[in-house]
Amino acid sequence: MSLSISSVTHPSSVMGSDASTALTNVFDSGKYTTKFQRIESNSCNGTHPDPPPPKSLLIATPLEGGEFPVLLFLHGYLLYNSFYSQLIQHIASHGFIVIAPQLYAVAGPDVSGEIHSTAAIKNWLSEGLSKFLPPNVTPNFSKLALAGHSRGGKTAFAVALRKLNITTDLKFSALVGVDPVDGLDRGKQTPPPVLTYVPHSFDFDMPAMVIGSGLGDVKRNPLFPPCAPKTVNHEDFFNECNKPAWYFVAKDYGHVDMLDDDTNGIIGKATYCLCKNGESRKPMRTFVGGLVVAFLKAYLQGDNRDLLAIKDKHLSAPVELKFDYFV
């Protein structure tokens, strides 16, 4: 196998606890210095002794030694994993190993391939991930979470719901949908469909959080549909979640406002043209990153102080909330 690796160093700065004593501001960078690494599997020639990942990966990990929870993050429709660099580094700076695969280059209407790829990556983790991490950094696979944006959010829920009867070696313990979308409209869902329109019908044994965008269901121009249409968006996903579930909607921000400020290429430029956007991306990006950190700390590490601080407004969010709900 031929494997190319590049990295850059990025400097950053109990359940039931009282939210007013939150330890950190999760919307700021965390205390860990992060290493950002790209792993690409190109061709088979037998020159690399370690098994490559099934798909190319971006990995953000703390540089300081320790054992850290792991988050697998799935990109949105036709987007590149590199568009989420700032988001995943923010999460990693709070003490998480974040893995963002490139699931495809060209996507059809069916997400079955993404479901199979996610399962294959999950099975690779226990065998292959440690060999590409700093020597003093250890992944804790008993604290493994799954997240996804847009179509990647649908894929994450599909994996959690065991669509296509996929089985994996490791178990996910928490699920996050970042403005998840199930298709163009009710009845026009990309197969396999996830939404059933039956309240609290999702059958998975893990806590979930859904983050929505207030402008996702607004058209940017008359030639294209909204990027997160009503009847197949964050509201519908949350309605089918069971306890415990958390729901936050940022009022004045759009479907792709959690991406990097600079997204290059035709696709990167299109992210500023096809979806209704807020004034800037940084507030939404830090909002999403902070929520993910607070949620994972609560349900993977048993420390819900930051999550409750956000809920009780003791910690100010960088965006105005349109809606929040907790069950």
Exactly one of 179, 217, 236, 303 is catalytic; name it.
179
Report pLDDT for 222: 84
Nearest to 122 by CA among 155, 95, 85: 155
Domain at 320, CATH number: 3.40.50.1820
This prediction has a pTM of: 0.92
Q: How far apart are CA 125 and CA 133, in angstroms?
A: 11
Q: Which of 85, 150, 173, 213 is the catalytic position? A: 150
Which structure tokens are listed for 60?
């953000």
The tens digit of pLDDT for each residue in 130-140 reads 999 999 999 99
255 is catalytic: yes
| Residue 170 contacts residue 140 (beta carbons within 8 Å) | no
> Residue 197's domain spans which residues?
2-326
Residue 80: predicted pLDDT:
96
| pLDDT category of residue 4 using cuts at 50, 70 and 90 | very low
pLDDT, mean of residues 276-280:
96
Total domains, the chain: 1
Annotated active-site residue 179? The verdict is: yes
- Residue pair 258/87 in contact (Cβ under 8 Å)? The answer is yes
Poorest-pLDDT segment among 14-28, 94-108, 187-201, 261-275: 14-28
Backbone angles phi, psi at 252, to 5 degrees: -110, 30
Query: Catalytic one among 90, 182, 255, 260?
Result: 255
Which of 148-180 are b and which e, b meaning 16 or more Cβ less than 10 Å from the residue's Cβ?
bbbbbbbbbbbbbbebeebebeeebbbbbbbbb
Mean pLDDT of all residues in 222-251: 95
